[in-house]
Amino acid sequence: MTGLGAAGAENGGRMSDRIEPRTLKGFRDYLPEMMIPRERLLEAARGVYRRYGFAPIDTPALEYAEILLGKGGEESDKIVYRFQDHGGRDVALRFDLTVPFARFAAMHVPKLGVPFKRYAMGPVWRGENTGHGRYREFWQCDFDTIGTTAAASDAEAVLVAHDLMVAAGIGNFRLRVNHRQVLGGLLETMGLAGQAAAVLRAIDKLPKAGADAVAAEMAEKAGATRAQSDAVLALASRTGEPLAVLADLSRELAGSERGLAGVARLREVFEAALAAGLPPERIGLDLSIARGLDYYTGIIFETFLGDLPGIGSVCSGGRYDDLAGLYTRQALPGVGASLGVDRLLAALEELKALGAPGAVAPVLVAQFDPGHLGACLGLARRLHGAGIGAEVFPEARKIGQQLQHAEKRGYKVVALAGPDERARGAWKLKRLADRREVEIHEAAAPAAAAELLAGG
| CATH topology identical between 34-51+113-119+128-350 and 363-455 | no
Render pLDDT for 346-386 as a digit per residue (tens, 0 to 9).
Answer: 899 898 888 777 789 999 999 998 889 999 999 999 999 99
Query: What angle is formed at CA 100 by the lines to CA 95 and CA 105, rounded to 5 degrees?
Result: 160
Angle, helix 180-190 to helix 196-203, in steps of 10 degrees: 120
Q: Are 242 and 285 in contact (CB under 8 A)?
A: yes
Render pLDDT for 188-242 as a digit per residue (tens, 0 to 9).
Answer: 888 777 787 788 788 888 877 888 898 898 888 888 888 888 888 888 888 899 9
Polymer length in residues for the chain: 456
How many other β-carbons are positioned within 10 Å of the β-carbon of residue 102?
A: 25
Angle, helix 180-190 to helix 226-236, in steps of 10 degrees: 150
Domain boundaries, the chain: 34-51+113-119+128-350, 363-455
May I ask the CATH class of domain 363-455? Answer: alpha beta
Render pLDDT for 99-153 as a digit per residue (tens, 0 to 9).
Answer: 999 999 999 998 999 999 999 999 999 998 887 767 899 999 999 999 999 999 9
Q: What is the distance between the alpha carbons of residues 95 and 73, in angstroms, rounded to a whole number?
A: 12
At the topology level of CATH, where does 34-51+113-119+128-350 sit? BirA Bifunctional Protein; domain 2 (3.30.930)
